[in-house]
Amino acid sequence: MNRKTADRLQNSALENLGTMDRRKFVHGLGFGTVAALLPASLGTFAGLSAEAAAGARPFPVPTNINHLSCGVKDYAKSRDFYMGLFDMKLVWDNGSMCALEFGNPAAPNGLYIRGLTKPTDKPDVGHVAYGIPNFMKYKAAIKSEMERYHLTEIRPDGEVGWICNDPAGYMLNIIVEKDKAMYPGAAAFCDVADTDKCRQGYAEGVKNLNVGPKPGAAAFKPLYFSHVVLNVPESQLTKEFEFYRDMMGMKVIYRKTAGEPKTFLRFGQNTLYLQKTEKPGEKAHCNHFAFVIENFDFAKVEAELKRRGLDPKPDSKLAWTITDPDGFRVEITAPGLPEHIAKDCNGVNTGCPGGLRG
């Protein structure tokens, strides 16, 4: 089988994920063919990373989103919004930026919330930080892979992380799952973690964590990120997909290349969506993110969001969409939303059976 045929089979199978069982697909091609094609074309679609087929990956697949770095107009207002709506733990706050955590305490997901540098700056998610188990063991290998992929702006993010731009120019971190040497602004203090400068920086943010809404006031308990959406120029979508599939080891659960191209990639419990930018000339950016909450109930979530004046919009039967104080799109979801959108809705909420509420 040549590369062109393999790519055609890959795209056909992925675009019809809802009607084709992956094991049947793999069995039809034969394991030997799949293993041979994995590095270049099938990737992790068959449930096997290229490195797994070869024996080992250079470093583990990310397990969590350690944080999204959110630039906002008023950090305290945004902090209180997220703490008031979601049961998140304030773990660091120095009076100008903060860190919130939720989910597994050993490998938490989180938000870094910081004020914008300039009043004219636009609120955004400046980068995504992916947590890696046993980061220090793989630290050198991660940098080597960044260099092998010719990524730009590679630099340390303190001693326990790397930062760079992905192929589309969007900033990302690869860091520890959890460590005291990783906190907002740590890169300036923690080039060596075991130093007074690093410890003092951390200590500055834990002096007074009795700010924001009190525990128990939140409506929803977030468990992990359902998904984070990156909008990427269409010309860079293929490279972006191959990077997150191959270097980062994420597993493809949906891919469409025709019409409105879109890819869903799973890592840990989280999912990364890649889709094209809406306007010509737009740079890669985070379009929105979504939290899976405990005990999701469609009607009860809607009622609570309306009670709080948040004007929720349905995003299939498993999710509601709202906007935060900076107008950024946020979703509250049930488990399984990415699979539902992929298999039942043809990759877009308007394609769900029954429309936006289906």
Structural domain spans, the chain? 3-54, 64-204, 222-357
In the chain, % of residues over pLDDT 90: 79
What is the homologous superfamily of the domain 64-204 according to CATH?
Answer: 2,3-Dihydroxybiphenyl 1,2-Dioxygenase, domain 1 (3.10.180.10)
Res. 235 pLDDT band, cuts 50 70 90: very high
Closest to 157 measured CA to CA, from 201, 124, 188:
188
Fold category of 222-357 in CATH: 2,3-Dihydroxybiphenyl 1,2-Dioxygenase; domain 1 (3.10.180)
CA 99-314-277 angle, 5° bins: 65
Res. 37 pLDDT band, cuts 50 70 90: very low
Calculate mean pLDDT across residues 51-72: 84
Q: Do domains 64-204 and 222-357 have the same CATH topology?
A: yes
Does 162 have pLDDT greater than 70? Answer: yes
Does 25 have pLDDT greater than 60? Answer: no
Q: What is the pLDDT of residue 328?
A: 97
Does 156 have pLDDT greater than 60? Answer: yes
CA distances from 275 to 120, 258, 261, 298, 314 (A): 27, 12, 6, 26, 20
Q: How far apart are CA 226 and CA 232, in angstroms?
A: 19
- Is 212 or 177 the better-scoring residue by pLDDT? 177
Calculate mean pLDDT across residues 161-175: 97
pTM attached to this predicted model: 0.85
Which of the residue ranges 8-12, 151-155, 283-287 would you say has the lowest mean pLDDT? 8-12
Average pLDDT, the chain: 87
Does 55 have pLDDT greater than 90? Answer: no
Does 274 have pLDDT greater than 90? Answer: yes
b/e sequence 313-339, b meaning 16+ C-beta within 10 Å:
bbbbbbbbbbebebebbbbbbbbebbb
Q: What is the pLDDT of residue 216?
A: 79
